Chain A
Amino acid sequence: MLTHLLPEFKIIRDDERCIRCEVCVRQCGFDVHSYDAEEDMLYADENKCVGCQRCAVMCPTNALTIKPHDYEYRPNANWSKEHIRDLNKQAETGGVILTGSGNDKPYRIYWDHLVLNASQVTNPSIDPLREPMELRTYLGRKPDKVEFDNNQVKVDMPAQVMIETPIIFSALSYGAISYQAWKALLEAADEGGTLCNTGEGGWPHELRPGKTRVIAQCASGRFGVDLDYLNSASIVEIKIGQGAKPGIGGHLPGEKVSADVSRTRMIPEGTDAISPAPQHDIYSIEDLSMLIYALKEATHYEKPISVKISAVHNAPAIASGMVRAGADIIALDGLRGGTGAAPKIIRDNVGIPIELALAAVDQRLRNEGIRNQASILVAGGFRNSGDITKAIALGADAVYVGTAALVAMGCTLCQKCYTGICNWGICTQDPYLSKRLNPEIAKRRLVNLIRGWSLEIKEMLGGMGINALESLRGNRLHLRAIGLDQWELDVLGVRGAGD
Chain B
Amino acid sequence: MRHYKYLIIGNSAGGIGAAEAIRKTDKEGSMAIISDEEHHVYGRPLISYYLGDEIDYDKIFYRPFDFYDKKKIDAILGKKAVKVDFDRSIVTLDDAEEIEYEKLLLATGGTPFVPPIKGLDKYEHFSFITLDDSLKIRERLSRKKIETAIVLGGGLIGLKAAEALTMRGINVKVVELADRVLSPVLDEQASAIIQDVVESEGVEVITGHTFNEVVGNGGMANGVIMDTGVKIDCGLVIIAIGVRPRIDLVKDSPVKLNRGIVVNKHMETNIPNVYACGDCAEVYDFLSDNFRLTPLWPTAYVGGNIAGHNMAGNAKEYVWGTGMNAVDFFGFPVISAGYINPPEGQEMEVLTKIEPENMTYKKFLIQDNRIMGMIFVNEVDRAGVILGLMRDKVDVSSFKDDLLRIDFGAVHLPIKLREEINTAAV
Task: Check A-B contact in the complex, CB < 8 A.
Answer: no
